[in-house]
């Protein structure tokens, strides 16, 4: 089985930087995804990490350490529209590569 | 590219009736499609994994006779909620994984909001 843990809620100020952590325990690993989800909408893809290290994409960066079972999503220059739920999802290896989603972190950006 | 559509986007039905939700990959072939359910302020819960031409694999606790999944082609999967009850009211989301992509990335549909009265 898999266990994924991320904070339930975070708040931050517009223009600031926020880091959302995700820890996981899995019997096999084939990558970790971060998604953004606004209320009432489907998740949108942010990043995919399968190797250790930092992946930077504009204002968003994602980091992975497989040995520690740890990832974080870094959001820079926060904007009000970044207020959303951020989902960490781990894909197990073997078979159909079944994804397991964390509970999501609700990020509130205030002026 | 890699667009997934769902139809309908929302539906209201009476208790005891059945509802069919379609999930289509519009510009790619999908070997695998996933069906999720999401309750308010909760994360996505995987219901089943659907592979083209074979029976769906249901997650533990999901009634396969109640949630019928048919993956008729490489671009279409359907979820039928049979004998719906108010507790089945939820946001249903499908996703598709591209054939031969070499990546486990999923492309999500926009979701279907089901309300059972």
Give chain A's residues under pLDDT 50: none
**Encoding tokens for residue A86?**
């951020």
Residue B72: the pLDDT is 83
How many angstroms away from the CA of B40 is the closest CA of chain A?
Answer: 9
Where residue B52 falls among pLDDT bands split at 50, 70, 90?
confident
What is the rounded distance in angstroms from the CA atom of residue B31 to the CA atom of residue B49? Answer: 10
* B86 and B116 Cβ atoms separated by less than 8 Å: yes
Look at residue B28 and give its three-state secondary structure: coil
**B102 shares contact with chain A (CB less than 8 Å):** no
- Give the rounded percent of residues in chain A with a pLDDT score beyond 90: 82
**What distance in Å separates the CA atoms of residue B92 and residue A45, rounded to the nearest whole number?**
18
B113 near A CB under 8 A: yes
Is A98 close to B46, i.e. CB distance below 8 A? yes
- Are B24 and B75 in contact, with CB atoms under 8 Å apart? yes
pLDDT in tens, B17-47: 999 999 999 999 998 999 999 998 888 999 9
- Hey, are the CB atoms on A33 and B105 less than 8 Å from each other? yes
Q: Report yes or no: B49 at the A interface, CB cutoff 8 Å.
A: yes
């Amino acid at each position: 089985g898999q266990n994924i843990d991320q904070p339930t809620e975070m708040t931050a100020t517009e223009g600031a930087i926020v880091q959302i952590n995700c820890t996981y325990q899995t019997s096999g690993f084939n990558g970790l995804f971060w998604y953004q989800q606004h209320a009432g909408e489907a998740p949108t893809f942010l990043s995919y990490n399968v190797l250790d290290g930092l992946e930077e994409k504009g204002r968003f960066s994602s980091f992975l350490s497989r040995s520690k079972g740890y990832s974080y999503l870094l959001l820079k220059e926060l904007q009000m529209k970044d207020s959303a739920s951020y989902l960490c999802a781990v894909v197990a290896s073997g078979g159909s590569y079944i994804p397991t989603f964390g509970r999501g972190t609700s990020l509130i950006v205030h002026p | 590219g890699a667009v997934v559509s769902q139809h309908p986007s929302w539906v209201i039905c009476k208790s005891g009736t059945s509802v069919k939700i379609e999930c289509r990959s519009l510009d790619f072939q999908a070997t695998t499609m996933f069906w999720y359910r999401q309750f308010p302020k909760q994360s996505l819960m995987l219901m089943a994994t659907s592979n083209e031409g074979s029976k769906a694999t249901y997650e533990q606790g999901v009634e396969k006779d109640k949630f019928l999944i048919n993956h008729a082609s490489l671009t279409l999967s359907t979820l039928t909620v049979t004998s719906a009850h108010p507790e089945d009211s939820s946001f249903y989301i499908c996703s598709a994984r591209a054939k031969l992509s070499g990546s486990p990335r999923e492309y999500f549909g926009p979701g279907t909001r089901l309300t059972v009265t």
